[in-house]
Structure 1
Amino acid sequence: MYTDRMTTSDRLIEATRELLWERGYVGTSPKAIQQAAGAGQGSMYHHFAGKPDLALAAIRRTADEMRAAAETALSGGGSAYARVEAYLLRERAVLRGCPVGRLTMDPDVMASEELRAPIEETLDWLRGRLTSVFQEGLDSGESTASLEPAELAATVVATVQGGYVLARASGSPAAFDSAVHGLLGLLRPLSSRTD
């Protein structure tokens, strides 16, 4: 998880990211963060004003990584369908759930406008980015979809997030895979070419 070259600030952020993913906001105590990061209380408060400040930095980093991974898949070559397929089939820690999506279930995170903001921005960005990919498919004549690109984008995001929930509930990534492959089967006929 940590490298010798990581700063104390980075170790604190990384520890907080992991703990938020595993335990949620309430379960992520400053003491647990310090222990996981191998940092003292003085170091934590030297770099961050407190737990909310550190949690915000961790959530932002998680959101940035999610955007970067999605952008890599969605900006690759090929048809719109091929890029959406690459996004849907990219490697994920399915049984751990989405590190951003899981935060939407945390009432303490959702109650804080500041902590909620990067989550909303990231999910809005993802829907917007997928909408643009579907629109490119329509504009190029690749797609014959009668659905609005924004509706297709919302369906993709809902399928991924719901797939995480189904996989966690069943204890098997097969539920996620089934949802994704089912959606791809529905999208395939909308595309006249799939590269």
Structure 2
Amino acid sequence: MYTDSMSTPERLVEATRELLWERGYVGTSPKAIQQQAGAGQGSMYHHFAGKPDLALAAIRRTAEEMRGTAERVLGRDGSAYERVEGYLLRERDVLRGCPVGRLTMDPDVMADDALRAPVDETLDWLRGRLAGIIEEGVRGGEFSVPLDPAGTAATIVATVQGGYVLARASGSPAAFDAAVKGLLALLAPLARTV
């Protein structure tokens, strides 16, 4: 997980990211962070004001990574449908869920404006990015009906996030795959082949 070249602050942020994903905010104790990072208490408090400060750095890093991963697929060449399809079908660790989406279920993160902000900003960015792609497709005549870009983007994000929930609940990625394939089956007939 960690390389020898990683600095102590980097190890602390990475450990916090993993623990937040696995355990949530309350379950991520400073001691667990220090143990996972191989760092002492003094190191942690030398680099970060405390657990909230470290959690914010970890959440921001996770949000940046999610945006980067999504943009690598959404920024490719292709029709609007092809880019949305690529996003929906990209490789994911479905049973672990979305590291950003899971934070929305953490009451301690959602109750803290600073911790909630990067989560909300990232999901808002994703909806906006998808809406822009749908809008490009509508303007370019790629769809047989004038889709509502914002509504379609919200549906795409809700399908992915809901698919994670269904997969985790059933213990099988098949539930996620069924949700994605269902949405693509609805969109595919609307997409004109160019």
TM-score by length of 2: 0.98
What residue number does 1:174 align with?
174
- 1:26-70 residue CA offsets vs partner (Å, 9 max, x unmatched): 000000000000000010001100000000000000000000011
Task: Report SS of the residue matched to 1:54.
Answer: helix
Task: Report SS of the residue matched to 1:159.
Answer: helix
Task: Report SS of the residue matched to 2:25.
Answer: coil
Once the two structures are TM-superposed, the CA of residue 144 in structure 1 deviates from its matched residue by 2.2
What residue number does 2:63 align with?
63
User: Aligned letter for 1:91?
Assistant: E
Once the two structures are TM-superposed, the CA of residue 178 in structure 1 deviates from its matched residue by 0.6
Structure 1 CA distance for aligned equivalents of residues 193 and 157 of structure 2: 23
Structure 2 CA distance for aligned equivalents of residues 193 and 31 of structure 1: 56
What residue number does 1:103 align with?
103
What residue number does 2:154 align with?
154
User: Aligned letter for 1:51?
Assistant: K
What residue number does 2:117 align with?
117
In structure 1, the gaps of 5 or more residues are none
Q: CA RMSD in A?
A: 0.8
Once the two structures are TM-superposed, the CA of residue 147 in structure 1 deviates from its matched residue by 3.0
What residue number does 2:191 align with?
191
Structure 2 CA distance for aligned equivalents of residues 118 and 127 of structure 1: 14
What residue number does 2:35 align with?
35
Once the two structures are TM-superposed, the CA of residue 126 in structure 1 deviates from its matched residue by 0.2
Once the two structures are TM-superposed, the CA of residue 145 in structure 1 deviates from its matched residue by 3.0
- 1:118-171 residue CA offsets vs partner (Å, 9 max, x unmatched): 000000000000000000101111112333111000000000000000000000
Task: Report SS of the residue matched to 2:83.
Answer: helix
1:165 aligns with 2:157: no
In structure 2, the gaps of 5 or more residues are none
What residue number does 1:78 align with?
78
Once the two structures are TM-superposed, the CA of residue 77 in structure 1 deviates from its matched residue by 1.1
